[in-house]
Amino acid sequence: MQTQILNDEALVLQYMNGNEQSLEILIRRHKSKIFTSIFMFLRDQYLAEDLFQETFIKVVRKLRAGQYQEEGKFLPWVMRISHNLCIDFYRKTRRTPQIVTPEGFDIFNVLQFSDGNPENMVIRKQSHERVRAMVDELPVEQKEVVILRHYADLSFKEIAEITNVSINTALGRMRYALINLRKMQMEKQIAL
């Protein structure tokens, strides 16, 4: 089908002109990155489903209202919306992320994205919980950058824009996050 090879901007334009199928393609193209990022922020499957829906309902409203003016940056634009919803949620519920402690997690394995080997699926499901627990222990500023860079696949420049910091600050936060993750691994005496 022709629309399946269109880029995001063309799909956005088609959707704004009334093509409902374009929205479905956009959602299916980006749903994993967006959902994984929301889930890593919230640590709750059901809440993540709710905020995923809320994110795209806002996307629909904004597109209809002509409030999309970020050519070539559909994913970062959606991520900004979902990120703001996550931050609002934190503020409302006071779910402040924890500060780093050496307890409560265990690194299992080095895993790769998009590796479809079914033999490792059980291991991955177990590891997923451990990775999430580890990310949760990072200071909130570092956790934010890790999620947006590693799971949402935004560039450091895009992350800097979303979080209102300089690129060097975003890079520095990511660097300290990786250092802290390494410390956690060392404290657990786990060699990767």
- 4 forms part of the interface with another protein (CB under 8 A): no
Q: Which two tokens stand for residue 188?
A: 């657990």
Stretch that binds another protein, among 6-14, 23-31, 68-76, 88-96 (CB under 8 A): 23-31
- 57 forms part of the interface with another protein (CB under 8 A): yes
Q: Which two tokens stand for residue 49?
A: 């489903």
- 111 forms part of the interface with another protein (CB under 8 A): yes
Question: Which of residues 47, 87, 107, 133 is near another protein by CB under 8 A?
Answer: 107
- 64 forms part of the interface with another protein (CB under 8 A): yes
Question: Which of residues 128, 139, 161, 163 is near another protein by CB under 8 A?
Answer: 128
- 163 forms part of the interface with another protein (CB under 8 A): no
Among 24, 9, 28, which residue's Cα sits nearest to residue 60?
24
The smaller minimum CB distance to another protein, of residues 10 and 123, is found at 123
- 101 forms part of the interface with another protein (CB under 8 A): no
Q: Which two tokens stand for residue 92?
A: 């409302």
Instruction: Please report, as ranges, the residues that interact with another protein according to CB under 8 A.
Output: 18, 20, 23-24, 27-28, 31-33, 35-36, 39, 48-49, 52-53, 56-57, 60, 64, 107, 110-115, 121, 124-125, 127-128, 131, 134-135, 146, 149-151, 155-156, 168, 171-172, 174-175, 177-179, 181-182, 185, 192
